[in-house]
Amino acid sequence: MISADTPPAPGRSPYAQTKAYADRVARRLQDDGAPVVVTYPSSVVGPAFFTAAGVTERGWAPIAKAGVAPRMTGGMQMVDVRDVALVHERLMVPGFGPRRYVCGGVMVSFNEMIDVLEQGRGNKIRRIPVPGGLFRSIGWLSDLIGGVLPLGDGISYEAAMLLTAATPTDDKSTLADLDIEAWRSPQAAMLASFGR
């Protein structure tokens, strides 16, 4: 369970390492009393608004294009981009001091993600059974080959670890403190990114 008090993980990729470093800096400032507010969105989904697709959409794009996906256990927390915006809107109030909020959203199983991709592309995606260990090995190999060939960010060891771990988040204080009744459906936000 990931909460606002979970220590930052060291991260394997430069992206994750810089996020962890920034979080450690922010927490030190908070410990010193600075009114720094930190949010921790999970995989943010929804249609791009005059921007490039986000990292989550870039991750599923090869599956949607090829029509082939691994069938495996696991999943990931996803949050609708509009909910992330709502959290930030409600945090724009002075005088509350340092705070941290998890915006984990909803746990979506990997198979549920593929169901949504099928709806978005309008036809079936072939699912090939892949054990979690093999999927992580593919991610590890992808990291090695990606140093030489431009594979994109669709699969990496870090992504494979996140998907197969399916670690839930504790968002209770975010929802309660910011008077948010419930998170929107991330599946509907995924579908909206297909223009449906």
Query: Is residue 136 in a domain?
Result: yes
Query: Is residue 97 in a domain?
Result: yes
Give residue for tokens 């340092």. 98
Query: Is residue 78 in a domain?
Result: yes
Domain holding 149, by residue range, is: 14-192
CA distance 18 to 4: 18
Query: Is residue 4 in a domain?
Result: no
Query: Is residue 7 in a domain?
Result: no
Going residue by residue through the chain (196 aa), what tens digit of pLDDT does each one get?
A: 999 999 988 877 787 889 899 999 999 999 999 999 999 999 999 987 777 777 788 888 888 888 999 999 999 999 999 999 999 999 998 888 899 999 999 999 999 999 999 999 999 999 999 999 999 999 899 888 887 877 666 788 888 888 888 889 999 999 999 999 999 999 999 999 887 6
Query: Is residue 8 in a domain?
Result: no
CA distance 24 to 126: 42
CATH number at residue 101: 3.40.50.720
CA distance 97 to 82: 25
